[in-house]
Structure 1
Amino acid sequence: MRIFKNLNKSPAGVVVAGIVVATCGVAAMPLATHAAPAHGIAIYGEPALPQGFDHLPYANPDAPQGGTIRLAEPGGFDSLKPWVLKGNAAWGVGVHVTESLMMRSIDEPFTLYGLLAESIETAPDRSWVEFTLRPEARFSDGTPVTVEDVMWSYETLGTQGHPRYLSAWSRVASMEQTGPRSVQFTFTEPDRELPLLMGLRPILKKAQWEGQDFSASSLEPPIGSGAYVIDEVDPGRSISFRRDPDYWGKDLPLMAGVNNFDTIRYDYFGDANAMFEAFKAGEVNVWRELSAQRWATEYGFPLAARGDVVKSEIPNERPSGIVGLVMNSRNPIFDDWRVRQALIEMFNFRFINQTLNGGADPRITSYFSNSVLGMGYGPASGKVAELLAPFAEDLPPGTIEGYSLPEGSERAMDRAAIRRALALMEEAGWTVQDGRLKNAAGQPFEFEILLNQNGSAMRSGSEVQQIVNIYVEALRPLGITPRVTTLDSAQYVERTNNYQFDMTWYERGLSLSPGTEQRLYWGSDGVDTPGSRNWMGMNSPAADAMIDAMIAAETTEDFTAAVKALDRVLTAGRHVIPVSFSPISRLAHAADLKYPDRQPIYGDWPGFLPEVWWQEAN
């Protein structure tokens, strides 16, 4: 049966809303020229690994199997269903229990290789994609993974699942079974990225969930096709996964040296401090250290001193992303690039980084810095300049000419920065009057800095508070005294979802294969739509055009130029006061836990830990 989005099912040949719905998938196949079925697909060019490869380059096919790894997570959980909006799902279910048609290699920008699917076929313009299932693919209960399961999973996730699945599903014009083990998706328009996104959807067992309200939260252990099954659950406190000895895919080359532990356990703790104390006591095996200063000074506890805990640094080549204080341009006082630049000038990164971090980590210089997609220094040239030229008159200074952040001072008070900031504020209509910064009407320059008491994924609440405290003091010579408001997570999420803030802490991780998600991050549609990730309220025709050019690009050269141009628009837009980033991941771990000598370009990224680690016998 062919299924059309938002259409009712119909007998063959019946016209529904002007579209013929066919029950014979082969007869209804589009007339577009077929490419040959392939073992993998890359966003650009060809997959790096050839047909018949024997293992992923960052996996050790000789790794011993067995043992247990214990990991830590903050907070708690009340659901085992990570595919819906309701409930707080336990981490790991969607990683270890279920699988998708394709599997991503984290040693390439965006390349997938067949997992549940033995092959992928797509049109030259990528207006459709077809997957063919492996005949041996099985769920953990021994039943085969069928096309029916695939089609049910896609439609159910797209209509009842978490909103993150809606965007891709809304661009599916039709879905049909084209053979005993094949399913084809035809898109509303050609899209280079969409075939890859469709290959990454989790495949669930239809018989387990059919007839239920799929959108409801649940503690029912899901049946998946992955290498692990759920073993023990203590809701809110711990969950463990047991390796399935009958896992259907254990002999796939893709799985050589992957999924080596017999048991993976996640324990939940109230906060980061409790997690770290559990690690020091040996109750947790791995700790990701986010502070370079603590990495250098706080690893003399007994387990580390006697060598039972070791420190490893994992490099990466992925973009830095953007981390720092974001200014909400929906507030009129931030709707002037000169004001935003003045506030950037007053953030003395050099002093803050040295004081809180020992100066160990470099500053984020652009959204895609630390990667081949970064904008670089100096004037734009070549295709980047060509893309930006139509918008030249409306772009902030520095977008085309080149932009860099102020160097800062070793002293708390950066007098040169204060002079530059005062001059910019005066140009924007703000002057110091009676010790306060005011406009011509006598209205003071006032704003609120909103913080989450629990911190963020990359910074603890106390570290963010320290950064803000130093910044608030630095603003006093300018006649500005911001209000600082700290909220619990629920209140914070409510306010940020509705953009009810002036300035707040902001983190956006970016990959080497940015795509349509960039519209959610910085697209103009997010200015008025609640819940987008465009917290700065960026409304830039240039940014929208660069995202469109990036998505439409058919060559690596065009794609890279579009991202570099977007990076210039974002960075010179001066919406975020960036802080430091780490080009390495700092992992402290039990000495008997090992990982391959060859690490992927994404470094410590989903698919690395615990997937390709192993435990050596004592």
Structure 2
Amino acid sequence: MLPDLTPIFRRLALPLGLVLGAATAVAEPQHGIAMYGEPALPPDFVSLPQANPDAPKGGGITLSMNGGFDTLNPFITNGSPAEGIAPFTFETLLARSYDEPFTLYGLLAESVETDEARSFVEFTLREGARFSDGTPVTVDDVLWSYETLGTLGHPRYHTAWKKIAKAEATGPRTIRFTFNTEDRELPLILGLRPILRKADFEGRDFEATSLDKLTGSGPYVVDQVDPGVSITFKRNPDWWGKDLAVNRGQWNFDRIRYDYYSNPVAVFESVKTGAISAYREDNIAKWASRYDFPALASGEMVKLEVPHDRPSGIIGLVMNSRKPQFQDWRVREAMIELFNFDFINQTVTGGAAPRITSYFANSAFAMTPGAPAEGAVLSLLDPYKADLLPSTLEGYALPQPDGTPQNRAGLRRAIKLLDEAGWTVGEDGILKNAEGTPFAFEILLTIGQDEVASVAAIYVEALKDVGIDARVTMLDSAQMKARTDSFDFDMTYIIRTMSLSPGNEQSLYWSSAAADTEGSRNWMGVKSPAIDAVIAAMLAARSQEEAATAAQALDRLLTAGRYVVPFWFSDRNLIVHKAELKHPERVQLYGDWGTSYLPALWWYEE
């Protein structure tokens, strides 16, 4: 249990001007910055601890993707971008170490400077930082990138830009951002903005889809593009940053290729034949049962389990509360009751995967299911108690099925909740409201999500038992993106990963502003002053303890909101790969996270 941090959060409620004016420490340029405390590595570190600085360069790796792509610009909402563009070909001012909760070290910038209140941040560009065509990365490129990404393209960049009062060049290699909002994560968020080459977009519509190659400064350049089929990156032998300590031992493959497939069966067959070099398995039952093909028996391929310390995040079927049938929390609770987790989990995963009990489960940021809010968490939520959903403060836990395939206990509870919400089963066996409107909805899934489709099929049959007409619609990735970006769905599959330092991404996921912003990640459509307040408290937190308090409060609000029918999670990542692909013995704190582990830290060795 966390200590009572009520006084801390009272302090966080001080007017912004008083808080920002309280800083007295003199700011100095630093080699890195941590969200809380100091960076773990000294200024003269040789390489990141999770990297092998002696890893050889060479060889290649082929990975798989589902669906297709129609643009090489990953910074816009239009179209479906090819995988790998941002992490492989673009760089940011600072680089993240995934062996720490949230710490950044200099990349394009040699130093970062901020004050104790974090009311501003100043970056100093490295001399010699260059784009792949040899042109220098300039202050003008940086300022243009920040303003363009902050006002055009994908909305994930817009929130931070609105918190900037002034963006200015303070020298030939220095850029300063002064903030208008208290947000202690902002210096780090800005350090992770991709830097684009301004000249690439002269006379060009930034938001238009295009297969024209963009010029980045990263370790790779786009080599070959077969639209919608494959994309190949080649390592830039003239990469300006190859000798930086933060890069040493990383980006070792000469070639990285993504092949696109229409269905997971074709993907797995390509894994078995060796056409795919490495593959992430997300079903623990399949991990135990189907990995017996000849390439594994001969040692040509090997299995790898990568542990991690990340929160569970939320994975499941999200209800769009903008839709009338899902606006009542009792209906959403009934939808969770009708999901027979034990039976479905046994059918799909062999019962091996643990249930997701909340958004931050498996971490210190999680609420305790069923336990009442206490101490600082209670103080943070108390001002909003009149508007909180039942069990938020008292303690919410997911309803438990009765252990039978029929789940009659859950069925009875669901019928009672639906009746209380105004939905009753008529003589024709159809669930209707007082106006006689049948309860019907669509579950949108992406082609290739076969495992989710199996789950949905079982779920649809259970819904029929209470007179609900649910149907599953399979879309290609482009159609799915268009529908979810415009919130044009009833229910769909959702994955929201959580880091060990939750921050601004939570606004994009759950804030009231994001609920009305097309392209945002607030698919559930939640609008809650309490959620907005605890996210603000999270961003103002000055210690890991304060952040954990805010996260626990947020966890309560989201879980008790009953917006998602949760599935299961794993505390390890499962990878099968060719034997000549090697990886460091030390596993970073985040495990296999995005591209930071595979392929960034791996190498080829005969």
Letter of the 1:144 partner, please give it.
Answer: P
The one of 177, 183, 191 aligned to 2:183: 191
Q: State the partner residue of 2:581.
A: 593
Letter of the 1:609 partner, please give it.
Answer: L
Letter of the 2:572 partner, please give it.
Answer: I
Are 1:413 and 2:406 counterparts? Answer: yes
Distance change (3 Å), C-alpha of 1:150 and 1:352: same
Distance change (3 Å), C-alpha of 1:601 and 1:431: same
Q: State the partner residue of 1:9.
A: none
In structure 2, what is the Cα distance between the partners aligned to 1:336 and 1:216?
39
1:326-350 Cα deviation digits (max 9, x unpaired): 2233334433323322221221100
Structure with the larger RCO, 1 or 2 (CA within 8 Å, 6+ apart):
2
In structure 1, what is the Cα distance between the partners aligned to 2:182 and 2:365?
24
The one of 391, 399, 410 aligned to 2:384: 391
**1:173·1:186 contact (CA, 8 Å) conserved in 2?**
yes
Q: State the partner residue of 1:609.
A: 598
Pairs within 5 Å for 1:58-207? 58-207=50-199
Letter of the 2:50 partner, please give it.
Answer: Y
In structure 1, what is the Cα distance between the partners aligned to 2:437 and 2:79?
43
In structure 1, what is the Cα distance between the partners aligned to 2:329 and 2:282?
31
In structure 1, what is the Cα distance between the partners aligned to 2:572 and 2:237?
35
1:334-391 Cα deviation digits (max 9, x unpaired): 3332332222122110000001110111111001112221112322222111112222
The one of 349, 355, 359 aligned to 1:357: 349
Are 1:400 and 2:389 counterparts? Answer: no
Q: State the partner residue of 1:22.
A: none
Q: State the partner residue of 2:528.
A: 540
Q: State the partner residue of 2:443.
A: 450
2:246 partner SS: helix
1:175-221 Cα deviation digits (max 9, x unpaired): 22212221111222232121111111222333444344444444343
The one of 263, 274, 284 aligned to 1:271: 263
1:410-443 Cα deviation digits (max 9, x unpaired): 4211122223223333443444442636568473
**1:364·1:579 contact (CA, 8 Å) conserved in 2?**
yes
Distance change (3 Å), C-alpha of 1:217 and 1:119: same
**1:292·1:360 contact (CA, 8 Å) conserved in 2?**
yes
Moved more, 170-179 or 349-358: 170-179
In structure 1, what is the Cα distance between the partners aligned to 2:275 and 2:575?
16
**1:452·1:489 contact (CA, 8 Å) conserved in 2?**
no
Distance change (3 Å), C-alpha of 1:244 and 1:427: closer
1:36-78 Cα deviation digits (max 9, x unpaired): 1111111222112222122112111222222111222233334
Displacement of 1:170? 2.9
In structure 1, what is the Cα distance between the partners aligned to 2:126 and 2:235?
21
1:518 partner SS: helix
Moved more, 123-132 or 245-254: 245-254
**2:163·2:179 contact (CA, 8 Å) conserved in 1?**
yes
In structure 1, what is the Cα distance between the partners aligned to 2:584 and 2:235?
21
1:317 partner SS: coil
**1:333·1:445 contact (CA, 8 Å) conserved in 2?**
no
1:156 partner SS: helix
Displacement of 1:526? 4.2
In structure 2, what is the Cα distance between the partners aligned to 1:124 and 1:80?
40
Moved more, 595-604 or 157-166: 157-166
Are 1:236 and 2:224 counterparts? Answer: no
Moved more, 118-127 or 269-278: 269-278
1:104 partner SS: strand
Letter of the 2:593 partner, please give it.
Answer: W
**1:103·1:113 contact (CA, 8 Å) conserved in 2?**
yes
Moved more, 417-426 or 283-292: 417-426
1:242-296 Cα deviation digits (max 9, x unpaired): 2223322222211221111122222223333222222211111011112222211
Letter of the 2:341 partner, please give it.
Answer: F
Q: State the partner residue of 1:20.
A: none
Name the TM-score, length of structure 2 as normaliser.
0.90
Distance change (3 Å), C-alpha of 1:195 and 1:393: same
Moved more, 313-322 or 205-214: 205-214
Are 1:428 and 2:417 counterparts? Answer: no
Q: State the partner residue of 2:6.
A: none
In structure 1, what is the Cα distance between the partners aligned to 2:324 and 2:149?
40
1:501-541 Cα deviation digits (max 9, x unpaired): 33332222222222233233222234444443323232322
Letter of the 1:575 partner, please give it.
Answer: Y
Distance change (3 Å), C-alpha of 1:59 and 1:479: same
**1:437·1:444 contact (CA, 8 Å) conserved in 2?**
no
Displacement of 1:111? 1.4
Letter of the 2:401 partner, please give it.
Answer: G
The one of 483, 495, 504 aligned to 1:516: 504
1:507 partner SS: strand
Letter of the 1:612 partner, please give it.
Answer: L
Letter of the 1:114 partner, please give it.
Answer: G
Any gaps of 5 or more consecutive residues in structure 1?
1-30
In structure 1, what is the Cα distance between the partners aligned to 2:145 and 2:556?
40
Displacement of 1:119? 0.4
> Is the radius of gyration larger for structure 1 or structure 2?
1
**2:446·2:474 contact (CA, 8 Å) conserved in 1?**
yes
1:254 partner SS: coil
In structure 2, what is the Cα distance between the partners aligned to 1:450 and 1:486?
9
**1:351·1:409 contact (CA, 8 Å) conserved in 2?**
no
In structure 2, what is the Cα distance between the partners aligned to 1:209 and 1:500?
31
Displacement of 1:464? 2.1
**2:131·2:217 contact (CA, 8 Å) conserved in 1?**
yes
**2:320·2:523 contact (CA, 8 Å) conserved in 1?**
yes
In structure 1, what is the Cα distance between the partners aligned to 2:78 and 2:462?
42
Q: State the partner residue of 2:570.
A: 582
1:264 partner SS: strand
**2:68·2:477 contact (CA, 8 Å) conserved in 1?**
no
In structure 1, what is the Cα distance between the partners aligned to 2:598 and 2:493?
27
**2:583·2:601 contact (CA, 8 Å) conserved in 1?**
yes
Distance change (3 Å), C-alpha of 1:538 and 1:224: closer
Moved more, 385-394 or 592-601: 385-394
**1:314·1:603 contact (CA, 8 Å) conserved in 2?**
yes
Distance change (3 Å), C-alpha of 1:355 and 1:38: same
In structure 2, what is the Cα distance between the partners aligned to 1:237 and 1:484?
27
Are 1:287 and 2:275 counterparts? Answer: no
**2:50·2:584 contact (CA, 8 Å) conserved in 1?**
yes
**1:430·1:437 contact (CA, 8 Å) conserved in 2?**
no
**1:173·1:187 contact (CA, 8 Å) conserved in 2?**
yes
In structure 2, what is the Cα distance between the partners aligned to 1:472 and 1:86?
32
Q: State the partner residue of 1:569.
A: 557
In structure 2, what is the Cα distance between the partners aligned to 1:496 and 1:207?
32
Name the TM-score, length of structure 1 as normaliser.
0.88
**1:34·1:121 contact (CA, 8 Å) conserved in 2?**
no
Are 1:502 and 2:490 counterparts? Answer: yes
Displacement of 1:161? 4.0
Are 1:57 and 2:45 counterparts? Answer: no
**2:306·2:587 contact (CA, 8 Å) conserved in 1?**
yes
Letter of the 1:392 partner, please give it.
Answer: K
In structure 2, what is the Cα distance between the partners aligned to 1:224 and 1:335?
45
1:313 partner SS: strand
Pairs within 5 Å for 1:241-390? 241-377=233-369, 378-390=371-383
Q: CA RMSD in A?
A: 2.4
**2:156·2:520 contact (CA, 8 Å) conserved in 1?**
no
**1:310·1:590 contact (CA, 8 Å) conserved in 2?**
yes
Any gaps of 5 or more consecutive residues in structure 2?
1-22
In structure 2, what is the Cα distance between the partners aligned to 1:529 and 1:76?
25
